Amino acid sequence: MLRLRNTLTKDVEEVLCLDGDTLRMYSCGPTVYRPVHIGNLRSFLLPDLIARVLRYHGVPVRRLMNITDVGHMTDELSDEGRDRMLLAAEDEGLSTSEIAQKYTDDFLRDTDAIGIARADLYPKATDHIPQIIELVAKLIERGHAYEKDGTVFYDVTSFAGYGLLSGQSLDAMQAAHRIETDPAKRNHQDFVLWVAAGPRRELTYDSPWGKGYPGWHIECSAMSLHHLGDRFELHTGGIDNRFPHHEDEIAQSDGAVGHRVVDKWVHGEHLLMDTAKMAKSAGNVVTIQTLTDEGYDPLAFRYLCFTGRYRRQVDFTPASLRGAETALRRLREKVAMLGSGGTIARTDADLRAALTDEASIAYQERFLGAVDDDLDLPAALVILHEVLSDGAVPPEKRFALLASWDAILGLDLVSEEELPAELASLIEERERARAAGDYGRADGIRDRLRAAGVEVLDSSEGTRWVRKGPNPAG
């Protein structure tokens, strides 16, 4: 069964359902006032992999990823701090709701492109203002929060476990919240739950403390508690969410209900670009659209992420992406060569039913052992390539293994696509030319198919075809 490193306990622990047979997982999603970059997407890939592995084991998963479309849009509490959503709206001539919808749609397009399966729900902060206000009121009632001039702060000294997730003590902790120096705070570590609105705010709401808007951290607590209940199994996010965001979520959620809400916290490391963290402020942002415009298969980026453990930094370079693109293309070609004209059943149940011989069972155990071991995808890829080159295992068994494993990998190793009629007829015409010994004509048809994005693969077992992406620039 899957084991993951719990950031809270620092141990690798088996992932088990707490109540019933459905595992519940909440993941921090995008802030939708700008495009997500591939560093963000690496973080969003983590819950997709977790859910794929669990479902492969037959465990039902309910997966949520929030959409942040209000709050935490400025770095300061002052009225001079401009709402980034409003700035984006002004720049693009759209309303704030149109900006949020535009970048939500872009986010979903990008996650689709790299094979991230859709979550069961994408709750939006703007749809949960009543739940947020109710949670803030409960924290005040329980003595964890206080109000000052319309802004509500969380008193971190009221929560005994504050700092455990990030391994910090209050005495040594530096102010790291977006509101750092407000004199209304009792302690410099206190963080905002509800912010009194200044004159330049568009997205504001009535509350018992006056017109305002929610802080960033309270949104996730309110949405996760509302949709998953006061006890659920997994919460994921990027390593930069560990503090202060997730530390504050624990204080809010646990403080409100009186017990531990999240069983395991799982964090993915940064994607680097030439050894530097990818960030808009650093001017080194790359998007999936950038990669597709340059001719790359978006799933080459997914493959690149698998070359490093999720808890380790991965360095993105044009050379590393080109290497991933080449490896993925060759992998698909070899899998296509293992196929046998559609005679191999391709449903997941049938594929696994075919894995009854000793060699296949051994490979299956090794592959699952790797992915179950805290998502060791680099080791899983090594095993996958071993299977490809193991001539002692019949082709149909190797095909069944790789096609089955793709339910976890999500690399589209087995194409279910049918060629358009005109391309299918070209393949048939090429076969006739080869049969007649007219190899010049056959080569010409091959070139026409390549230009149309189709690579034909000849073997003693017949001709196969795979989709061939355009050659990347550089």
List, for residues 93-149, the tens digit of each pLDDT value: 777 788 889 999 999 999 999 999 999 999 999 999 999 999 999 999 999 999 999
Is the per-residue pLDDT at 159 higher than 90?
Answer: yes
Q: Is the pLDDT of residue 459 over 80?
A: no
**199 and 82 housed in the same domain:** yes
Mean pLDDT in residue range 202-221 = 92
Same domain, 69 and 173: yes
Same-domain pairing of 10 and 158? yes
75 has a pLDDT exceeding 50:
no
Q: Say yes or no: 156 and 283 in one domain.
A: no
Cα separation, 126 vs 117, in Å, equals 24
Task: Look at residues 268, 296, 319 and tell me which one is the last residue of a structural domain.
Answer: 268
- In the predicted model, what is the mean pLDDT of the chain? 87
| Whole-number pLDDT of residue 84 | 64
Residue 282 lies in a domain: yes
* Residues of the domain holding 348: 273-409
Q: Which two tokens stand for residue 401?
A: 């293994």
Residue entry with tokens 């401009």: 82
Is 80 exceeded by the pLDDT of residue 173?
no
Residue 474 falls within a domain, yes or no? no
Is residue 91 predicted with pLDDT exceeding 90? no
Asked, for residue 415, whether it belongs to a domain, the answer is no
pLDDT tens readout for residues 333-383: 889 888 754 444 456 666 777 778 899 999 999 999 999 999 999 999 999
pLDDT grade, residue 470 (50/70/90)?
Answer: very low
The residue among 234, 241, 243 whose CA lies nearest residue 262 is 234
Separation of alpha carbons 230 and 236, rounded Å: 16
> Would you state the pLDDT for residue 258?
97
Higher-confidence residue of 333 and 467: namely: 333
Residue 473 within any structural domain of the chain: no
Are 162 and 93 within one domain? yes
Q: Which of 198-202, 240-244, 307-311 has the lowest mean pLDDT?
A: 198-202
Largest CA distance in the chain: 88
- What per-residue confidence (pLDDT) applies to 219? 96
Show the DSSP H helices in 170-246 as ranges. 216-228
> What is the residue type of 76?
E
**Lowest mean pLDDT: which of 6-20, 88-102, 246-260, 421-435?**
88-102
Residue 8 in any domain: the answer is yes
State the pLDDT at residue 449: 86
In 3D space, the residue among 184, 113, 169, 165 whose CA is nearest the CA of residue 411 turns out to be 113
Clarify whether residues 430 and 333 are in a common domain.
no
